[in-house]
Amino acid sequence: MKLAFILLAALLFATGSALPTHVKIAHASPSLVQSSQDARKADVTGGRFLRSSERVNEANEERGKLAGLFLLDDITAAQKESIKKLAPTFAKLNEKDDGAIDLFDMLIRQGHSVKSAEKAGDLYTIYLRNPSAFHAS
pLDDT at residue number 119:
92
Answer yes or no: is 59 within a domain. no
pLDDT above 90 coverage of the chain, percent: 23
Which residues form the domain of 104? 77-134
pLDDT at residue number 105:
93
pTM for this one? Answer: 0.47
d(CA 124, CA 117): 10
pLDDT tens for each residue of 17-55: 556 666 666 666 666 666 666 666 655 555 555 555 556
Number of domains in the chain: 1
pLDDT at residue number 131:
87
Q: How far is CA 137 from the centre of its chain?
A: 35
Q: Give the three-class secondary structure for 19.
A: coil
Answer yes or no: is 101 within a domain. yes
Q: Give the three-class secondary structure for 57.
A: coil
d(CA 134, CA 137): 9
d(CA 7, CA 14): 10
pLDDT at 4 > cutoff 60: yes
Which letter does DSSP use for residue 64 in this model?
S
pLDDT at 99 > cutoff 70: yes
Answer yes or no: is 119 within a domain. yes
